[in-house]
Amino acid sequence: MIILTIDTDWAPDEATAEVLRRVRELEIKVTTFFSTPAPVDYWPELEVGCHPDLSRRGPASPAGGLEAAGMEHLALAEQAEEAVIRDYRAAFPTALAVRTHRFHWHSDLPRLFTRHGFCHDSSLILPYHPGLKGFKTGRLTRWPVWASDHLHLARRLPCDRLEMPHWREPGLKIFCFHVAYLYLNTSSLKNFNMITSGRPSGGLRSSKTEVPGVWDLFKLLAARIKSQGRGCWLSETPPEFTTDLETV
């Protein structure tokens, strides 16, 4: 089963709006994890999720990274995380799904997320593993990502056909795309930086390259989904793709 997800990753508003406009025209369901509110019109096939950066947990120790964090440091980190998630809940009050930036994770996050009303998390990547399923961590259902656009380009896999390791084997296949790659239709990581590439005038620019890129790959996956219906959001993944095993 294929599920398409997009991380906005603080891309310029015009890039996010343009990518989502193109996605809407494909007439499939997609889950988008927003890092910041964007001036876009939501539509019925769009599921809104949250994409917070929790990887910076507090001030660095004067002694450097080898020193264990003290209780005061941990308390400050927990307060910072609580404040971040509270802000995301206020900005996206209906969101049920969350994915942390860089797939950041630790054992206290399930309680933090469920306390703020999130039921689904996708802060985990297990690339190209066959037979993937979601699993429970407390009251939170975690959905591992099967592939990402960055990894696809890093492995130099083709963007003009669906050719990936274990592609034809059964299991849940959640794809993680990023607005910057989609907007630029990036075809290679060579000389590419997601933050700065194509932004000399302050905004991302659509690529006019004839070489197939990430947007072409997205359209191929969307066509495969549409051949069988409209697809589904992360939060409505069928129960047969959830294992009975539970982790802590």
Contacts of 101 (CB under 8 A, 6+ apart): 7, 9, 35, 51, 52, 53, 54, 55
Indicate the number of domains in the chain: 1
Average of per-residue pLDDT across 124-134: 97
Quick one: pLDDT at residue 39? 87
| pLDDT tens digit sequence for 107-116 | 999 999 999 9
Q: Give the model's confidence band at 72: pLDDT under 50 very low, under 70 low, under 90 confident, else very high.
A: confident
Quick one: pLDDT at residue 246? 77
| 208 pLDDT more than 60 | no
| pLDDT tens digit sequence for 15-24 | 999 999 999 9
Q: pTM to 2 decimals?
A: 0.90
Average of per-residue pLDDT across 223-234: 94
Quick one: pLDDT at residue 7? 98
Q: Starting at the earlier edge strand, list the strands of the sheet with 30-34.
A: 147-148, 173-178, 2-7, 30-34, 46-50, 97-98, 120-121, 140-142, 134-137, 242-247
Distance CA 63, CA 71 (A): 16
Quick one: pLDDT at residue 195? 53
| pLDDT tens digit sequence for 151-172 | 999 999 999 999 999 999 999 9
Quick one: pLDDT at residue 58? 56
Q: Is residue 65 part of a domain?
A: no
Q: Is residue 168 part of a domain?
A: yes
| 210 pLDDT more than 90 | no
| 27 pLDDT more than 70 | yes
CATH number at residue 44: 3.20.20.370
Residue 206: give the domain boundaries: 2-59+72-247
